[in-house]
Structure 1
Amino acid sequence: MSNFHIYSLPIELLDTLTPRNLVGELRPRSPSPVPLPSTSTTGSRACNVCNGASFIDVEEQRVHFRSDWHRYNVKTRLNGGQPVSEFDFSKLVDGLEDSISGSASEDSDSDDSDDAVDALFSKATRKKRSHSPDQNTAAAPQTALAWFHSPPATQLGVYKALFNSGVHQSDYLSELKGMQNGGRTWAMFMVAGGHFAGAIVRVSRETDDEDEHDPQKKKKQKKPRTDTEVLKHKTFHRYTTRRKQGGSQGLNDNAKGNAKSAGAQLRRYGEQALRDDIRNLIQDWAEEIDGCERIWIRASGTNRKIFIDYEGCVIEKGDGRLRTFPFPTRRPTQSELSRCLLELTRAKVSHLTEDALRAQDEAFIASLPKPKSIPVAVLPAPEKSKPVKLSKEEEILREKWSRLLEMVGKGRLDPLKSFWEREGANLGGVDTPIPEWTGEKRATLLQVAAHSGHEDVTNWFLETLHADPTVDVPLTKAGELEENDSGDTSDSPKPPKGSRRTAYDVAKNRAVRDVFRRCAGAHPDWWDWFGAARVPSVLSKEMEEEREEKKKVRRKGLKDRVKEREGKAKPAPEPEPAPVVPQPKVRDTAGPRKLGGASGAVEGIVGLAPEMRAKVERERRARAAEARLNAMAK
């Protein structure tokens, strides 16, 4: 008797049920005392923050760690609070969206999900601070299950999401009894990581009394009908997430700008195709969805707007049938929908006696935190000025300026060109003064590039964008020049304290200053180079070639002097004494010779010992080598 279907509970069991208020309304911080059969897998891939959510593989675990639900629970835990379930988090998000005035539009798809998490966390913090300190008990987080007790030792747990919205917990028992009549259907949809699964399911069978009045049909043994049945189902997948990176392409574009790779284009197309496929499927199932009692949707972030809140949508945003799954789910598949359907329609059963339940209730009440003592009134400290909250447009503008200054300061010319082509007009042009909130001490982008020492970026600003080199550099608070503004010795005299400076004056090295002089020589009519821009002189191509020739001559003369100095310092090598070669004994050649005897040069070593003969041969070869070297030297 442990596999009870929610919509087919035995009448004798329903008549004995009573609500378990304490267990149903409050949940202790420690693990629940009631042992519940769990259908979720356990293992090393689990989240200890989000109520032990488990995952099939590493990819699903990474997606969970980037979800709004997980990040909200992490912030709550760090602040000393208790994490919430995914179902409770979705209710918080829905309440936050309803509290925003005005209606959402398609333009809101680009909003960063961090705003929702921060807003929910701030709201929870304010609510916690405003909580009265003299209350006897602290409110524990709501559990997703409503519990009922049947004497002597049986407890049933039913998910609260199955009951109608707005029903108080005291009326759950009457609602549960009313669920036993009539047939009902559900619509179930899941989408995550480009995967989609949807189904129309029957969760309770219709009562059929015709068989009872027909004796012929009574004799036939009919096949028992199952409690649940899948009427329609559909699954498909689109390429929307980069492997091992996580996150959709749309969120990445909103955070870092549109990527121009082939993979990014494919992922954008996959997101659009996935949205169109899901909406077309919902439109095809519109008639069945209208007759459904519940509509279950698992979607996070912008994916939720695929189903609701668009022109011609079948499911309205404020539909009372909308529900989120009150437990962790896995990758959207047909088998996962079947598992979730079984999890929702099967009652959770435990067998504890009334004494054991009473002991657990007492232990739970004792574990609640004690009320804090009222502190002595202390004069309030002066409040610090709160930072001005920026609008979404201002945050985007500040992010663009930060990225622009980073690229200019690091000399990343190629990404700078692409970024400027896309955002330059929106930022006001190349001569727009840099905002003060950036903390930059220079006034224009040209001055930043010159001070950073990147000649290619400086040349691009001057030649291509026609940046103004006559703009003054801001003075420090003391009205003096900033130290170490320039690196090498400048061609122009150093300006006195308090005088005006330009981009040329803050150039870091000679190469950057040559860019200004070269541009002044090529385009003398563009700016007042020698006056307002403070460029001392032009640098033509002929002057550069002459300077290079002088450098070559100077380097050649330096090498010659070094060689001459080394030649004088090196002493002449002393001649080695010629080795003394023992004179071999001369044999009488007039007499008869032995057969096979040597002649010519070999005659001198005939009759010597082997060691002496080898030594003479080595000396002979050494003298021959020395003669060759002398001939080559002449």
Structure 2
Amino acid sequence: MEKKKQEEQLRRPLYVYDLPRDVLSSLSLKADAGLSTQPEPQSTPSASRDQSPGPAAPDTTAVGSQACSLCSLIFGTVQDQRDHLKTDLHHYNLKQKLNGLTPVTEAQFEKLVGDLDESISGSDSSDTEDDEDESSSRKDTTLAALLRKQATLADKRNPNEEEELGSRRKQGGGKPPLLWFESPKLPEKTYYGIYRALFTPEELDKEDAIIEAIMQRQLTPVSMPKLPKDGSTAPVGYKGRHIFLCMIGGGHFAAMVVSLAPKQSKHSAGPLNREAIVLAHKTFHRYTTRRRQGGSQSANDNAKGAAHSAGASIRRYNEQALVEDVRELLKGWKALIDTSDLLFIRATGSTNRRTLFGPYDGQVLRANDPRIRGFPFSTRRATQNELMRSFIELTRLKVREIDTVVPPTPETTETAQPAQPKAPSKPKLTEEEELALLHTTQIQAMIRRSKLPALLAYLQTNSLDAATFRFQPEDTQQNHHAPTALHLAASQNSAPLITGLLARAGADPTVLNEEGKPPFELAGDRATRDAFRVARAELGEKAWDWEAARVPTAMKREEAEQRAEREKKEKEGKEAERRKAEEERLKREGPKVKAGGAARPGAGILGNTMLKTAQERREEEARGLTPEQRMRLDRERRARAAEERLKRMQGGG
């Protein structure tokens, strides 16, 4: 019974600001939590601005399998860890280690890259080949440029300066990003982790004050009215505790104010559901980065002089427009920002830092604000989803198994030299467990790719019952949220899969996940929810207990299709109106080509006449093509461009 309680404790997600009483009362600081084990690094302008923790020893910082001991980072999923291994930060720290130097933190690396006036806008996946080429090209040029610059500086520096710099780097170790806590509710060698950035320096100075600080942060769930969908701010009378999150880089900007008190709602069945309350959110994107070349237009102008192309004019206009948009937004959110508990900010490069911290008239954010923190983990492109992911990462209790590493003494080292260390052996799985893991991998892959015929054939061939089969292992975060094929299909918003699983595979819509939710409550759009209602109408009321599945009243397929078609037309009408308004705005505010001047290739605006840009024409040509066809088309474009250049060179000669 005790073991079952511990397993349940490991599976359920815990929110730092609303911990269960049994967890809160059992917390105690781990003996080697790392509050004062390492000296504070010397203060630098970037360190005071970013407030990011420095790297620490691998045995205290990066624990468990989902971590990078080199960069001292911990990840929520294995995929995040794999993505990190491809980043410039990880490759740079590998170079540092090979050269016998100390690795740098993410904030320190961004400062180094920002000094180069390069642009790193994130690593979100892209649908076009051009974006992938741009990402890989930018990665190579940025890292190579940084290493070249440091090599040049090292050549110019005399040996005495180099020795002094190396000694300074070794002294600044920094502190681990997570504080670890013990609890008798957890198995042996397993601990809770909370990010250090959530506490003030005064609370971190004393170990006794940490537990008291956690207790003072406990908030009661509250009910809030629905906020406008346009991202406007919360009512002026809102007095609750909240935090501000902001990311800017590569022309992308995203900001969000989130209440620390969880949202409370209660369904007719199932446990209490607690969610985050977003008080305000906004995202901007402006075309400011020079494609395939890296860097902002202003940085290129400062280095080489002002360019006179149409693209350069558009980028200059967009840079200024982005600055104005961001500062106007911060001004409108001033009341919420001034009352925020903490300000989590990621600003890459000096240009982006000036956008936020000025100085300018009516400045809202100030670089010396003690509430400012950097994100103590890897982040991707500035989007609303990335901010919400970061908020969840910051405020969710981590549960990790830590094997404490004892420093070897000379005697134990000499004794251990003849014996070769043995790698810890993993528990051997039974044949049934291995087969269940194989089925889980195959089924989840087919659901994510919306392969309905292949999924139905796989279930039939392997004699799997979609109503009873649960993904393995059950204690992972993914399978905790979506333990069955129907749960996963609903979370992926795949209406055809919902219909096929219910009508042809006999999936059970009443099965609850570990959070007490049936598949219907994981659906994220109306089309997916309508698929459940149509299945209820076609399968009949006696097929399943639809009330227990929390599926609303039945709906005929014709009615669902008519509503979908009606909404599609309304959406197309709104998009046409938006495009028309955008064209009118560009006619009034967009960059103008000098009178009498010839239209340059790729120019999207000529006088007051709207034309399609080269990028829009390329996208139209590539629409509907396979990846191989897109590559072939791209090669043909490059060949035609090379021929045109040769003709111009021959004509000029």
TM-score range for the pair, normalised by the shorter chain length: 0.3 to 0.5
What's the TM-score, normalizing by structure 1? Answer: 0.43
Taking CA–CA contacts closer than 8 Å with sequence separation of 6 or more, which of the two structures ends up with the larger relative contact order? 2
Which has the greater radius of gyration? Answer: 1
